[in-house]
């Protein structure tokens, strides 16, 4: 039994009617999203607090503002993004019109996770709508309060014929994926990513997978330990560590570790006070399952900072682990919690070798006063994105594409990249019926003399190259 | 199989495929290969597809030489980092996108253009700094063998390898891990490739096919339209992924179209088409039988002659074709051109939209508005208006499919982008920590207010506002720094 057939058919019919194509329609939907954010701000903040104990500050900068920016960007640029992109022509096509037309795919599926349950629903949604698609949203069932708002409140701000929300857990999602979509945008972990890609292959559905991994953070000896500690700690413990681009582990020498530890303790105390559990600015773990998973990791190595936990509140203290071995469980999976292991290396070369042995991460961080060191790390590794001397600030720039590589994902979005991701780029060449004499060079029967002329018509622009034979 | 791929990976890990100079050197070597081995290449193509030298040269070799020239000229530009516009928070930093190689690329080529469809992707993969495994189609045997022989003579033997074999070897190859797979071929196998790629989370570019419709409007230069269609349809004996698969037109045009195509065929291939050196043959017996069977029960306006011994099928046109008949159910990939009469453009658009999205769409009309409408109300990989095939030859246009006809695109810079990872880079300095204090807890309402003030792009269009903001930002940073230091 396929419970989604009707919903999908009506979306497909709506798309087929062409109503999502005009810029006015798309802009109206985006304005709807604007109103949704403005009119439900308090409810959204409350939902984030409920699901993740997210402080208003964190919610503001990592969820609401980002969504707002993306909506505004799309509204401001929709017309220019939708315009045909004229391309350079060769000799044979000089008199023709050649352009790339960006078209919607059709019915698009967006599957979002629980860690930034507003951001990771709305930002892809903005791209899909701006590109002219109909959308099915499948928000995460784990962030229950936000799921409620998305399914009960959001639809009233959008055209009901072109937009649907589907709820459920892994079972329902599996059934959903048995249907045909024209594009699938998935944010989550690599193993589910494989399942999504496999399901997509049955219909040859193009996809974007925003996955994760263990994001290495290299700290050079030549640095200001307190500055580094502030930055690393903030990005690590933000949202209680439940961020796909958070620095997952530190690589540094023993001596730097000795300088970092007090600095990190300093940062933690400054940020969250002597008793972090009492701080309103520290988040909580999303579920009991993840809480227990993380609590198990606290026993790896030795907790130099933190190490406490509280099952009732699903609270895990901001923790820094030392004496961690490469083979420990904490180094086998993406941590996704407020635990920061430090592994020792003797040199940057060792750090680079360590990183290259493993799967390509979503983000990579390098801290050093010496820009040559930062550059070396950048050049000799691969990752989705890279930030030198800070945490995931690169994500806040909508002019930088955000996405993974290898195990951390495929495809990208944010800003115009979202629009392009949800569009099919159709190459168009419009010729005239004239100039047929020129064309006759290509028709049989062939004579040797045609060859030379033909050669000069195609793309041979490099001077001095002797290609005539 | 595993060993060969591991060898390519080890070669990639040494980093030698990355420097621009190395890539240019390999591309130049490829250029020399094409020029020096031309005779052998043309010979192999002639044997595999009964292709005349001119055809082989103009359809395969020229494209490659053109692509090489283009890439050699533009590559230094493409590898340069692309600076990104910054916001207030990152004003003092370096922000750019850096294109990096993915690693080991697998290129699976098709048999119909066995040279171009292996070498053109190879050029892009090399240009992007990767190691490459090329798996040519076993159906175009001579070309596959030749590529395995000459490629290692000119290119780095470990980084770029040719692996030959049939279904068994390809299946084995697909079990290995690659960093991108570009497959050209059928929809059915495309699904298998993507499924195999899913196990390793390998991104794919699938250049598949479908039935590319060709709408001929009553308001058009019929002579020219029919000449161009004839050229594109019977080229390579119809074995092109972007051949005009079938014609849609008003019933009154059918007989005129048939006449003109017939005349043009005579002009192109002479009275005894079999004897024309410019007319190719079907690749093998299986496809010969398949295409021949599509003629059953059809109204053959002209053509229809076949000769199994030489796998010859005459240029054929079918009229009043029923949309439900076999010839309209699969991509023809042969020299058979069905004409399906439709009432008007509206019906043509409906007809096209009821079917899978094709790789190419063709429209012939003097009415620009009609052409625009056909493009707007349908979807396809690419479009050529008032001609066929030609959008393939302009490498500034991305070449690829959509829906059942494929995903991803390549040619020119699009190849470079396909085979690269575009990595976002933000480089900050370790100083100016004062400015950061704004973001650290403990939080307060004022911080929340400042945050929304800074992050919301309210002053997007007002330059003065932006400068004011910047000034304010620096002021705040200095104030905060003094407060906390």
Are A90 and B397 in contact by the 8 Å Cβ rule? The answer is no
Using CA atoms, how far apart are residues A460 and A439, in angstroms rounded to an integer? 18
Structure tokens at B347: 């019906």
The pLDDT of residue B337 is 98
Candidates A55, A93, A461; nearest CB to B73: A461
Tens-place pLDDT, residues A447-466: 655 666 655 555 444 443 33
Tell me if chain A has a CB within 8 Å of the CB of B227.
Answer: yes
Candidates B84, B179, B231; nearest CB to A406: B179
CATH superfamily of B213-401: Aldehyde Dehydrogenase; Chain A, domain 2 (3.40.309.10)
Mutate to test the interface with A, among B62, B87, B366, B424 (most CBs of A within 10 A): B424
Tens-place pLDDT, residues A315-372: 999 999 999 999 999 999 999 999 999 999 999 999 999 999 999 999 999 999 999 9
Interface of A with B in 238-297 (CB under 8 A): 270-273, 279-282
The pLDDT of residue B462 is 44
Alpha-carbon gap: A241 to the closest alpha carbon of chain B (Å): 15
Tell me if chain B has a CB within 8 Å of the CB of A221.
Answer: no
By C-alpha distance, which of A207, A136, A226 is closest to A173?
A: A136
Tens-place pLDDT, residues A406-458: 999 999 999 999 999 999 999 999 998 777 877 777 888 876 556 666 555 55
Beta sheet of A302-305, edge-to-edge order = A302-305, A319-322, A339-344, A249-252, A216-219, A363-367, A385-388, B420-427, B94-101, B82-83
Tell me if chain A has a CB within 8 Å of the CB of B62.
Answer: yes
Candidates A100, A197, A388; nearest CB to B428: A388
**Inter-chain CB proximity B441 and A206 less than 8 Å:** no
Are A395 and A245 in contact by the 8 Å Cβ rule? The answer is yes
Q: Which residues of B touch A282 (CB under 8 A)?
A: 441
| CA angle (A360, A366, A372) in 5-degree steps | 115
**Inter-chain CB proximity B396 and A369 less than 8 Å:** no
Each residue's pLDDT, cut to its tens digit, for chain B (485 residues) gives: 899 999 999 999 999 999 999 999 999 999 999 999 999 999 999 999 988 888 888 889 999 999 999 999 999 999 999 999 988 778 888 999 999 999 999 999 999 999 999 999 999 999 999 999 999 999 999 999 999 999 999 999 999 999 999 999 999 999 999 999 999 999 999 999 999 999 999 999 999 999 999 999 999 999 999 999 999 999 999 999 999 999 999 999 999 999 999 999 999 999 999 999 999 999 999 999 999 999 999 999 999 999 999 999 999 999 999 999 999 999 999 999 999 999 999 999 999 999 999 999 999 999 999 999 999 999 999 999 999 999 999 999 999 999 999 999 999 999 999 999 999 999 998 777 776 777 888 876 677 776 666 665 443 444 545 566 666 667 766 666 655 54
Tell me if chain B has a CB within 8 Å of the CB of A76.
Answer: yes
Angle of helix A23-39 relative to helix A119-130, nearest 10 degrees?
160
By C-alpha distance, which of B128, B121, B124, B133 is closest to B206?
A: B121
**Inter-chain CB proximity A427 and B86 less than 8 Å:** no
Catalytic residue among B60, B67, B158, B207, which? Answer: B207
Structure tokens at B75: 């590559």
**Inter-chain CB proximity A383 and B55 less than 8 Å:** no
Domain residue limits, chain A: 4-211+412-424, 216-407
Catalytic residue among A58, A70, A147, A210, which? Answer: A210
The pLDDT of residue B87 is 81
Tell me if chain A has a CB within 8 Å of the CB of B369.
Answer: no
Tens-place pLDDT, residues B105-147: 999 999 999 999 999 999 999 999 999 999 999 999 999 999 9
Q: How far from each other are the two terminal CA atoms of chain A, in whole angstroms?
A: 65
The pLDDT of residue A457 is 56
C-alpha dihedral, B137 to B141 to B145 to B150, nearest 10°: -80
Q: Which residues of B touch A55 (CB under 8 A)?
A: 441, 443
Pairing of strands A107-111, B82-83: unpaired
The pLDDT of residue B479 is 66
Classify A321 as helix, strand or coil. strand
Classify B400 as helix, strand or coil. coil
Using CA atoms, how far apart are residues B143 and B64, in angstroms rounded to an integer? 15
Using CA atoms, how far apart are residues A460 and B393, in angstroms rounded to an integer? 12
Alpha-carbon gap: B37 to the closest alpha carbon of chain A (Å): 12
Entry field: residues in chain A: 469
**Inter-chain CB proximity A90 and B409 less than 8 Å:** no
Cβ contacts below 8 Å, chain A against chain B, sum to 326
Candidates A60, A402, A462; nearest CB to B73: A462
B241 labelled catalytic: yes
Fold of A4-211+412-424: Aldehyde Dehydrogenase; Chain A, domain 1 (3.40.605)
Alpha-carbon gap: A447 to the closest alpha carbon of chain B (Å): 8
Using CA atoms, how far apart are residues B191 and B199, in angstroms rounded to an integer? 13
Q: Which residues of A touch B194 (CB under 8 A)?
A: 197, 200-201, 204
Classify A379 as helix, strand or coil. helix
Tokens 């024309």 -> residue = B276
Tell me if chain B has a CB within 8 Å of the CB of A444.
Answer: yes
H or E element in which residue A183 lies: strand A183-187
Are B253 and B344 in contact by the 8 Å Cβ rule? The answer is no
Structure tokens at A352: 């680079």
Tell me if chain B has a CB within 8 Å of the CB of A197.
Answer: yes
**Inter-chain CB proximity B441 and A378 less than 8 Å:** no
**Inter-chain CB proximity B451 and A57 less than 8 Å:** yes
The pLDDT of residue A409 is 98
Q: Which residues of A touch B72 (CB under 8 A)?
A: 462
Tell me if chain B has a CB within 8 Å of the CB of A458.
Answer: yes
CATH of domain B1-208+410-424: 3.40.605.10
The pLDDT of residue B457 is 46
CA A60 and chain centroid, separation:
19
Q: Is the peptide bond before B442 cis (omega within 30 degrees of 0)?
A: yes
Beta sheet of B131-135, edge-to-edge order = B160-162, B131-135, B104-108, B180-184, B204-207, B406-407
Strands of B187-329, DSSP E: 204-207, 213-216, 246-249, 299-302, 306-307, 312-313, 316-319
Are A421 and A412 in contact by the 8 Å Cβ rule? The answer is yes
DSSP letter assigned to residue A467: -
Give the Cβ contact number of residue B189 at 10 Å: 17
The pLDDT of residue B440 is 85
3-class secondary structure per residue, A151-176: HHCHHHHCCCCCEEECCCCHHHHHHH
Are A19 and A10 in contact by the 8 Å Cβ rule? The answer is no
Q: Which residues of A touch B187 (CB under 8 A)?
A: 204
DSSP letter assigned to residue A360: P
Classify A106 as helix, strand or coil. coil
A210 labelled catalytic: yes
Q: ipTM of the assembly?
A: 0.94
Region for residue A435 given its phi and psi (left: phi exceeds 0; alpha: psi -120 to 50; beta: otherwise): left
Q: Which residues of A touch B235 (CB under 8 A)?
A: none
For A124, A144, B166, B474, the CA distances from B288, given in Å and listed in that order, are 48, 60, 20, 75
Domain residue limits, chain B: 1-208+410-424, 213-401, 432-483
**Inter-chain CB proximity A444 and B269 less than 8 Å:** yes
**Inter-chain CB proximity A89 and B267 less than 8 Å:** no
A460: nearest CA partner in chain B: B66
Region for residue B406 given its phi and psi (left: phi exceeds 0; alpha: psi -120 to 50; beta: otherwise): left
Are B332 and B245 in contact by the 8 Å Cβ rule? The answer is yes
**Inter-chain CB proximity B201 and A410 less than 8 Å:** yes
Are B402 and A424 in contact by the 8 Å Cβ rule? The answer is yes
Tens-place pLDDT, residues A75-129: 999 999 999 999 999 888 888 999 999 999 999 999 999 999 999 999 999 999 9
Structure tokens at B258: 């048939």
Using CA atoms, how far apart are residues B318 and B295, in angstroms rounded to an integer? 8
Tokens 């180094």 -> residue = A331
The pLDDT of residue B473 is 66
Tell me if chain A has a CB within 8 Å of the CB of B90.
Answer: yes
**Inter-chain CB proximity A382 and B460 less than 8 Å:** no
Tell me if chain B has a CB within 8 Å of the CB of A383.
Answer: yes
- Which CATH number is correct for A216-407, 3.40.50.300, 3.40.309.10, 3.40.50.2300, 1.10.3720.10? 3.40.309.10
Are B363 and B370 in contact by the 8 Å Cβ rule? The answer is yes
Alpha-carbon gap: B297 to the closest alpha carbon of chain A (Å): 31
Tell me if chain A has a CB within 8 Å of the CB of B32.
Answer: no
The pLDDT of residue A35 is 97
Tell me if chain A has a CB within 8 Å of the CB of B181.
Answer: no
């Amino acid at each position: 039994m396929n419970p989604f057939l009707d919903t999908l058919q009506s979306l497909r019919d709506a798309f087929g009617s062409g109503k999502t194509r005009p810029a006015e329609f798309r802009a109206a939907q985006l304005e709807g999203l604007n109103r949704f954010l403005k009119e439900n701000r308090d409810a959204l903040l409350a939902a984030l607090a409920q699901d993740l104990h997210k402080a208003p500050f964190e919610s503001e900068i990592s969820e609401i503002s980002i969504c707002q920016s993306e909506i505004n960007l799309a509204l401001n640029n929709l017309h220019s993004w939708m315009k045909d992109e004229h391309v350079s022509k060769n000799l044979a096509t000089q008199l023709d019109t050649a352009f790339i037309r960006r078209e919607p795919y059709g019915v698009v599926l967006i599957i979002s996770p629980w860690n930034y349950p507003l951001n990771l629903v709305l930002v892809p949604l903005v791209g899909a709508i701006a590109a002219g698609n109909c959308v099915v949203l499948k928000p995460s069932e784990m962030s229950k309060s936000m799921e409620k708002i998305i399914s009960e409140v959001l639809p009233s701000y959008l055209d009901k014929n072109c937009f649907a929300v589907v709820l459920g857990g892994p079972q329902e999602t599996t059934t959903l994926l048995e249907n045909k979509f024209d594009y699938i945008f998935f944010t989550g972990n690599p193993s589910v990513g494989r399942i999504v890609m496999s399901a997509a292959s049955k219909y040859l559905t193009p996809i974007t997978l925003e996955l994760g991994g263990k994001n290495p953070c290299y700290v050079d000896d030549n640095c200001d330990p307190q500055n580094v500690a502030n930055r690393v700690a903030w990005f690590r413990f933000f949202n209680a560590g439940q961020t796909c681009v958070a620095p997952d582990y530190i690589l540094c020498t023993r001596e730097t570790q000795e300088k970092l530890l007090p600095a990190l303790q300093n940062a933690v105390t400054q940020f969250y006070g002597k008793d972090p559990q009492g701080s309103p600015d520290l988040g909580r773990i999303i579920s009991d399952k993840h809480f227990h998973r993380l609590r198990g990791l606290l026993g790896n190595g030795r907790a130099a900072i933190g190490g406490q936990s509280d099952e009732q509140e699903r609270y895990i203290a901001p923790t820094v682990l030392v004496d961690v071995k490469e083979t420990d469980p904490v180094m086998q999976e993406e941590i996704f919690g407020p635990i920061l292991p430090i592994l020792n290396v003797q040199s940057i070369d060792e750090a680079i070798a360590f990183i290259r042995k493993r799967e390509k991460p979503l983000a990579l961080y390098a801290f050093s006063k010496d820009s040559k060191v930062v550059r070396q790390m950048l050049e000799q590794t691969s990752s989705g994105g890279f930030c030198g001397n800070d945490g995931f600030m690169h994500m806040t720039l909508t002019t930088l594409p955000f996405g993974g590589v290898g195990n951390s994902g495929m495809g990208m979005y944010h800003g115009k990249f979202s629009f392009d991701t949800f569009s099919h780029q159709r190459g168009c060449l419009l010729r005239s019926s004239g100039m047929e004499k020129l064309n006759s060079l290509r028709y049989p029967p062939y004579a040797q003399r045609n060859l030379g002329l033909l050669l000069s018509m195609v793309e041979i622009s490099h001077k001095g190259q002797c290609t005539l034979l | 199989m595993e060993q060969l791929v591991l060898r390519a990976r080890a070669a990639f890990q040494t980093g030698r495929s990355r420097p621009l100079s190395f890539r240019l050197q390999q591309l130049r070597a490829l250029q020399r290969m094409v020029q020096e081995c031309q005779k052998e290449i043309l010979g192999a193509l002639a044997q595999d597809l009964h292709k005349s030298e001119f055809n082989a040269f103009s359809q395969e070799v020229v494209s490659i030489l053109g692509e090489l020239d283009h890439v050699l000229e533009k590559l230094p530009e493409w590898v340069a980092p692309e600076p990104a516009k910054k916001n207030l928070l990152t004003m003092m930093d370096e922000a750019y996108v850096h294109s990096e190689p993915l690693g080991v690329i697998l290129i699976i080529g098709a048999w119909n253009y066995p040279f171009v469809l292996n070498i053109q992707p190879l050029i892009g993969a090399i240009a992007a700094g990767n190691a490459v495994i090329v798996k040519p189609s076993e159906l175009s045997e001579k070309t596959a063998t030749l590529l395995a022989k000459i490629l290692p003579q000119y290119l780095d033997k470990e980084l770029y390898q040719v692996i030959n074999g049939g279904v068994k070897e390809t299946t084995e190859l697909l079990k290995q891990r690659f960093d991108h797979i570009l497959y050209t071929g059928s929809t059915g196998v495309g699904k298998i490739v993507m499924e195999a790629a899913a196990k390793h989370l390998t991104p794919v570019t699938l250049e598949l096919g479908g039935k590319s419709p060709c709408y001929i409007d009553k308001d058009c230069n019929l002579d020219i339209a029919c000449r161009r269609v004839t050229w594109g349809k019977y080229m390579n004996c119809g074995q092109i992924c972007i051949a005009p698969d079938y014609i849609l037109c008003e019933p009154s045009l059918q007989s005129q179209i048939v006449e003109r195509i017939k005349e043009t065929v005579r002009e192109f291939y002479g009275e005894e088409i079999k004897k024309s050196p410019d007319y190719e043959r079907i690749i093998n017996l299986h496809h010969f039988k398949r295409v021949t069977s599509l003629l059953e029960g059809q109204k053959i306006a002209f053509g229809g002659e076949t000769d199994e011994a030489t796998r010859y099928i005459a240029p054929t046109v079918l009229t009043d074709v029923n949309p439900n008949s076999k010839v309209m159910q699969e991509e023809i990939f042969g020299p058979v051109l069905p004409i399906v009469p439709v009432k008007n453009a509206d019906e043509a658009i409906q007809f096209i939209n009821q079917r899978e999205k094709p790789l190419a769409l063709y429209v012939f009309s003097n009415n620009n508005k009609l052409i625009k409408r056909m493009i707007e109300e349908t979807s396809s990989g690419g479009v050529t208006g008032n001609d066929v095939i030609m959008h393939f030859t302009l490498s500034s246009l991305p070449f690829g499919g959509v829906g059942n006809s494929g995903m991803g695109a390549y040619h020119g810079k699009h190849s470079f982008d396909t085979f690269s990872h575009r990595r976002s880079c933000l480089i900050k300095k370790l100083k100016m920590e004062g400015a950061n204090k704004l973001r650290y807890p403990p939080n307060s309402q004022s911080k929340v207010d400042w945050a929304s003030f800074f992050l919301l792009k309210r002053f997007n269009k007002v330059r003065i506002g932006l400068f004011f903001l910047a000034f304010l930002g620096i002021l705040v940073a200095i104030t905060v720094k003094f407060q906390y230091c």
